[in-house]
Amino acid sequence: METNEKVGERIENARKMRKLTREQLAEYADISVTFLSDIEKGRKSMTVKTLRNIAAALNVTIDYIVNGTEFYSENQMLNQMLSALTPDQRAYAEEMLFLFIKAMNNEQSKIPPADD
C-alpha cells in the first residue's frame, strides 16, 4: 500500500481534474472539509467506507487511489470527458449514453441480413 501522502496526492489531483472544490468533494463523500484536507495532505488515513465514497465521488477506482494504477481500463477519451463532469452531470451523461446505446441496438435489429 502506498503512503498516505501519495494517496492524498492522487485524491487531490483527481479532485482538481474534475474541477471540484474540497467542499464539494467532502459533501459528495459525506466527510468534513477538514478531514478531506487532512487526507489530501497525507496527515490522516481513512476507513474503507470513506475510501469507497471518495472513489465514487471522483469516479475513479479504489485501486487508482490506493496503488496509483490507471483511472480506467477502457476507452481513455470517453473516460477523460466523463471525469471532467460533476457527479450530477456524469449521471445525466451516463443516462444519455445508455439511451443512445439502446437506440443504436434497436436500429441494428432493423437492418436486414446481407445476401451472400
6-33: average pLDDT: 94
Q: What is the pLDDT of residue 18?
A: 86
- Give pLDDT tens digits for 93-109: 888 988 988 888 876 65
Q: What is the pLDDT of residue 9?
A: 95
Cell of 50: 470513506
- Give me the residue spans of the domains in the chain: 4-110
CA–CA separation, 109 and 94 (whole Å)? 23
Instruction: Identify the CATH assignment for 4-110 out of 2.30.30.230, 1.10.1520.10, 1.10.3720.10, 1.10.260.40.
Output: 1.10.260.40
Helix (H, G, I), strand (E, B) or coil at 87: helix
Cell of 43: 496527515
CA–CA separation, 102 and 88 (whole Å)? 21
